[in-house]
Amino acid sequence: MRGPEPTIYEISSPGRRGFTLPELDVPEAEIPAEFVRDRLLLPEVAEVDVVRHFVRLSQKNFGVDIGFYPLGSCTMKYNPKVNEVAARLPGFTKIHPLQDPELVQGAMQLMYELQQYLAEITGFAATSLQPAAGAHGELTGILMMRKVIHEGRGEPHRTKVLVPDSAHGTNPATTTMSGLQVVEIPSDKRGNVDLNELKKHLDDTVLGFMLTNPNTLGLFDENLLELTRLVHEAGGLMYGDGANLNALLGIAKPGELGFDVMHINLHKTFSTPHGGGGPGSGPVVCTEELAPYLPGPIVDAEEHDDHVHYVWKMPERTIGRVKAFWGNFGVMIKAYTYIRMLGEEGLRAVAENAVLNANYLQTLIKDVYPVPYGFRTCMHEFVAQGKIEGAPDVHALDIAKRLIDYGFHPPTMYFPLIVPEALMIEPTETESKQTLDAFADAMKKIAEEARTHPELLKTAPHEAPVRRLDEVRAARHPKLKDVPGMED
């Protein structure tokens, strides 16, 4: 499908309609004229126009169902179809969040059991399912840490959050949003947090440490136990960014490794689809000490003689609610379905195969591209560099765009920031050896092309719905809407 798709406004025709509604079956009431708008600039299209327009647009989009999507730190695993069926059951979609709890016991049971499963899988005492995404979970967790230390422990002078230089941008952004200050801690030569640097900052102004483990280099911190001990000794708390939990399912429980609070990305680890940018779900799990601070309400179970009764409960010292209602329930159903289908052994197999696939691909790739930490065993992902000997003008960007022509979604580019020309590759457990081999072959061919026909890379992609897009122009002259009759 080459060629631009017109916008929905461009296919609009005055008077055309694509809806039906019931006739008015009660007397009309007067709507005072002062309330009534003089125009509403929505398009006028028929149902077939809408369907063809959006189906054609969908054909200009790459998803996991089309092919390999090794986007590092995003865990683009296959999204099981049973999840979609489950989430669309009318008893789940057609219930109002404020219905009397007596009328939604099934939904509350699902939430309660999911709270229990997530706590069990991660080794924590309690769960809140309310946060809507990973960054939302981070905000939740850091606000909890702030409150437990400032109010629970009476140490309001602790306002610094230590964040490694390999961290996702959400970590420092969350810290600022929580009214706290970020201190960046460098990594050492093996890709771990540099403990000597860490020690320089561990004083009584430290609120805690935010660590993604395995980190964004795909490495399990070799000094993790020492690190969590040092932070705790200094009076701080450990925040776990669960973005990379896929590597640890059934392998280790973060709650046993010294973390105090952590968010989980259901849309990464637990197979719920990412929806082209969302919705996600970012439940937060924590220790006994932090449990009273969780946002809520959460679901509690009351045992009766012949049944369990589910009720809403606000944790006693809660930071407050972080959104309206209870969380992204539709996403929770999918994660619940996944956990129930996999069980203990299935979840452990996920981590084992994710790590096996990543190490296999790392082995194949490191013959051709530099892998700065390739001397170590990686976990679920690894970081290569888009540097090709004999092709000095070719960059990670060019390699990424050329991969599109080979039918692959590019890896995460230029992140983590500490690796120049980074290509962060996460294959996940749902890819076969054949797919990994084909991807490695493409990477090798691209390296060859870079030396012989660099322009093929510089002008890539050639096989996508559009050629390389002018992002500078988009930012310099922002055009953020196109509504006939309105100024830009």
Partner 1 sequence: MVYIPNTDAEREEMLRTIGVERIADLFHDVPEPYRNPRLNLPQPLSEAEILAELRDMSEANADLDHVAIFLGAGSYHHFVPSVVDMVISRSEFYTAYTPYQPEVSQGVLQSLFEYQSMICALTEMDVANSSHYDGATATAEAVIMALNVHRRKRKRVVMSPTVHPMYRQTVYTYTQGMNLTIVGEDAPRHDLQALADLIDDDTCCVIVQNPDFLGRMFTPQEMQALADAAHAHKALFVVVIDPISLGFMVPPGRYDADIVVGEGQSLGSLPQFGGPYLGIFAFKKEYVRKSSGRLVGETVDAEGKRGYVITLSTREQHIRREKATSNICTNEALVAIAAAVYMASMGKEGLRRVAELSYHKAHYAAKRIAEIEGFEVLSSWPFFKEFVVKCPAPVQEINDYLIEEWGIIGGYDLSQDYPDLENAMLLCVTEMNDREEIDALISAFQEIAGGALESSVKFYLPT
Closest approach of Cβ 18 to partner 1, in Å?
A: 5
Closest CB to partner 1 among residues 234, 247: 247
| CB closer to partner 1 out of 320 and 390 | 320
Instruction: Give me the amino acid identity at 222.
Output: E
CA 140 to chain centre: 15
- The CB-of-244 to partner 1 minimum distance in angstroms stands at 13
Amino acid of residue 107? A
β pairing state of 382-385 and 422-425: antiparallel
Which pair of structure tokens corresponds to residue 423? 């290509």
* Cβ-based nearer residue to partner 1, 22 or 389: 22
Provide the minimum distance between the beta carbon of 275 and partner 1 in the complex, in angstroms, as a whole number.
Answer: 3
> What element of type H or E holds 181?
strand 181-185
- Nearest distance from residue 166's CB to partner 1, in Å? 12
Q: How near is the Cβ of 372 to partner 1 at its closest, in Å?
A: 17
Nearer to partner 1, 257 or 383 (CB): 257
Q: How many CB atoms lie within 10 A of CB 215?
A: 26
> How many whole angstroms separate alpha carbon 335 and alpha carbon 338?
5
Q: Which is nearer to partner 1, 268 or 390 (CB)?
A: 268
The DSSP H or E segment spanning 110 is helix 105-122
**Positive or negative: CA dihedral 212, 213, 217, 221:** positive
CB of 390 to partner 1, least distance (A): 25
Q: CB count, 10 Å around CB of 27?
A: 5
Phi (first) and psi of residue 303, to 5 degrees: -80, 125
Residues β-bridged to residue 160: 181, 206
Sign of CA dihedral 410, 413, 419, 424: negative
Closest separation in Å from C-beta 186 to partner 1:
15
- Gap between the Cα atoms of 356 and 213, Å rounded: 17
Q: What six digits make up the tokens of 105?
A: 């016991």
Phi-psi region of 320 (alpha: psi -120 to 50; beta: other; left: phi over 0): left
Q: Which is nearer to partner 1, 81 or 452 (CB)?
A: 81
Minimum distance, C-beta of residue 105 to partner 1, in the bound complex (Å): 5
Q: How far is the CB of 202 from partner 1 (least distance, A)?
A: 20
Residue 3 or residue 389: which is nearer to partner 1 going by CB? Answer: 3
CA–CA dist 284, 136 (Å, integer): 9
Least spacing, CB of residue 232 vs partner 1, in Å: 16
Residue 273 tokens read as 């689809």
CA atoms within 13 A on the CB side of 66: 12
